[in-house]
Amino acid sequence: MNPSSLVSRAQRSSTRQIDRQGFTLVELAMVLLVMGILVAVAAPKYWTAITQYSCDLAAKEMEADLAYAAGVAQHTSQPVTVQFNTANHRYRILGVDDHDHPGQVFERNLSTGSAGGVTLLSADFAGTQEVTFDIHGRPDSAGVVVLEASSEQRTISVDVTGRSVSAVTATYNTGP
């Protein structure tokens, strides 16, 4: 064997070790620092967006449920009452079965439902916490329901108009 061929093999093996790809500890620390800064900037905006989404979802569900109650009253030619319970953050539609549990009254819990973490701040229909839709789908009194999640609030208004389903509207306002 030629001694020069041994040297070239040794040089090649040391060159291979130098060519290895990888990250140094400093590079890893820099990447983690940049990611930490991005998370610190994005996290508050993310939680605000989640809160807004929860409040919007609860308002839209309630708006749809009130319109549904008016529709059931029209369809069955029987008055349908929606009762609001601000202490437990729930509302129920009397005389209407729950979609998921036939035979049970339709009830939605805002604090644990699909929107989650939303509170039923107030419900006022001419001094009561309930509204009854007549056989034409019209509410017996005008009223306002206010939902809240963190600093987000949504107002659902029920107007006494000649129209049935369109009597329910939601206002999407932010802040107290």
Bridge partners of residue 83, in order along the sequence: 92, 130
66-112 pLDDT, tens digit per residue, is 999 999 999 999 999 999 999 999 999 998 988 888 888 999 998 87
Are the C-beta atoms of residues 65 and 108 closer than 8 Å to each other?
A: yes
Q: How many CB atoms lie within 10 A of CB 115?
A: 22
Are the C-beta atoms of residues 123 and 145 closer than 8 Å to each other?
A: yes
> Can you list the residues of the chain whose pLDDT is less than 50?
162-168, 175-176
Whole-structure pTM value: 0.71
Is residue 7 packed enough to be buried (19+ CB in 10 Å), middle (13-18) or exposed (0-12)?
exposed
pLDDT computed for residue 176 by the predictor: 46
pLDDT computed for residue 17 by the predictor: 57
**Which is nearest to 108 in space by CA: 133, 129, 82, 128?**
82
Where does 25-174 sit in CATH, by number?
3.55.40.10
**Which is nearest to 175 in space by CA: 159, 151, 157?**
151
